[in-house]
Amino acid sequence: MSAESPLIDAVDSLGVVEDAIARSGETLELAARHLDPSLVDVLRILGFDKEYTSAQGSYLYDAAGRAYLDFHTGEGFASLGHNHPDVREVLRATLAANLVDGVQLHYSALAGMLAEGLSQRLPPGLDAVFFASTGAEAVDSAMKFARAATRRPRLISCDDSFHGVTLGPLSLVGDDFFKEGFGPLLAGCERVPFGDLERLEAELRAKDVAAFIVEPIQGRMVTLPPEGYLQAAQALCRRYGTLLVIDEVQTGLGRTGSWFALDHWGLEPDLVLVGKALSGGYMPVAAMVTSREIYTRAVGTLERCYVHQSTFGRNRLSMAAGLATLRIIERDRLVEHAGYISTVLRDGLAELQQRFEMIKEVRGSGLMIGIELCAPKSRIARLNWRLIHMASEGLFPQLIVIPLHRDHGVITMAAGKNDVIKLLPPLTLSESEARSFLVALDAVLADCHGGGGKNWAVVRDIATATLGRRGAHTSR
């Protein structure tokens, strides 16, 4: 994979950027010492311990100048590509204007404009916005607003869902792996299987559920809803007085080939949650969008106007980045572009699936794609598959992820403790970049086919070492 590395032209009088560039070779050492050494260990095991020095568009660049095509984008954070020049220009102009930024006792035009822009792209009636810094904070806000507006205690989410890892949203998450050691969690939070309307109605029937919080497409494994499920779930919420909260933190703003994934099903939820892509790849910003009626019932009276706040939620740079993002998506027709590039990728993946039995299923919408793997039928492959799964439920996709990165300069990710590789490339991805990814994936699959080859050996060694460490720990 090759592309021209961007030139670095960054000077500040305090020398912060100069020092950061000078010490870039210490990045992982600093992280191991002061941040998260276990994550550094994982990066080293997988061969992802590169010294990335810059990023531009669809690429990251390491210290040697090698380009890496990014099909991860920070879980969709850099949906406009890295360091989009027009977002940067807006941020520079915002700083140069010396605008007021006392976000607690001040409303800027930027905040109102961004709220207006989001409302204009959502179903009618969703015209009240609360800005936050992260998607998890937006989820937490929805949980609070739903309880306050309905005066009901319970919240329902789905198995295999993901809504964030702060304590409130974590109480909704549908995978107990993320919850281990952090309990007790928030009371009144329960789950139903994604797609099971009978179980959902059984929970709603008591009329004590404040909100049903659901991802329109589950992000962890890129799981699409069964036909008619979301529309029927909305009807059940209406029948029993439960608020419908659609978590679009990952699916929103063009990711699925529509402004919001809810558009695919004609949904009219009570609350919508936005994050990640709203950042423009620069600033932390998220939003909870609801109706004026729900907002007023929750916190909209004079005596309650200050009971729910976010210190940096409406800061000028985040608001400017969000506005720039909306305008770039609109100007460059990135929603339509995502749909077109999705067709290129999906057609290419379908062709690979015909040739390689290791691809069990390809699913998704727009530029949110999951590739579910299975073991080839050869005896050696199935033995290796069992060994790898004994070591870790999420290790098998590294059979593809590691060589894509190491040999072809493509960054992808395993979707968790499962056999799914998730693709979240930038909405700006070009057709040539999409096709170069398909060529790289073809080469890796060819090496892995049948259970032999160097890539099986690499992952098998990781599995063996993992089992060895586990056995040593157990024997103590």
Determine the topology of domain 86-331 in CATH. Answer: Aspartate Aminotransferase; domain 2 (3.40.640)
309 vs 33, which has greater pLDDT? 33
**Residue 380 host element (H or E):** helix 379-391
Q: How far apart are CA 437 and CA 442, in angstroms?
A: 9
Q: How far apart are CA 21 and CA 34, in angstroms?
A: 18
Q: State the maximum Cα–Cα separation within the chain, in Å, rounded to a whole number.
A: 70
Contact yes or no for 264/368 (Cβ under 8 A) = no
Do 16-83+334-475 and 86-331 come out as alike in CATH topology? no
What letters, b where the CB count within 10 A reaches 16 and e where it falls short, cover 175-199?
A: eeeeeeeeeeeeeebebbebbebee
Distances (CA, A) of 30 to 24, 27, 38, 52, 247: 10, 5, 13, 14, 35
Please tell me whether residue 328 adopts helix, strand or coil conformation: helix
* Tokens matching residue 198: 């009978």
Q: For the chain, what are the domain ranges?
A: 16-83+334-475, 86-331
**Strands (E) located in 283-389:** 286-290, 359-365, 368-373
Band (453; pLDDT cuts 50, 70, 90): confident
251, 311, 327: which is closest to 131 by C-alpha? Answer: 311
Q: Express as a percent the part of the chain with pLDDT over 70.
A: 96
Q: How far apart are CA 260 and CA 253, in angstroms?
A: 6
Give residue-wise pLDDT tens across range 164-197: 999 999 999 998 889 999 989 999 999 999 999 9
Determine the topology of domain 16-83+334-475 in CATH. Answer: Aspartate Aminotransferase, domain 1 (3.90.1150)
* Tokens matching residue 229: 């499920």
Which residues is 337 bridged to in the sheet? none
4 vs 286, which has greater pLDDT? 286
Q: Express as a percent the part of the chain with pLDDT over 90.
A: 71
Contact yes or no for 171/185 (Cβ under 8 A) = yes
pLDDT at 379: 82
Give residue-wise pLDDT tens across range 242-267: 999 999 999 999 999 999 999 999 99
Check the CA dihedral 308-309-310-314 and report its sign. positive
pTM listed for this prediction: 0.93
Contact yes or no for 391/384 (Cβ under 8 A) = no
Distances (CA, A) of 130 to 262, 270, 275, 288: 20, 14, 12, 5
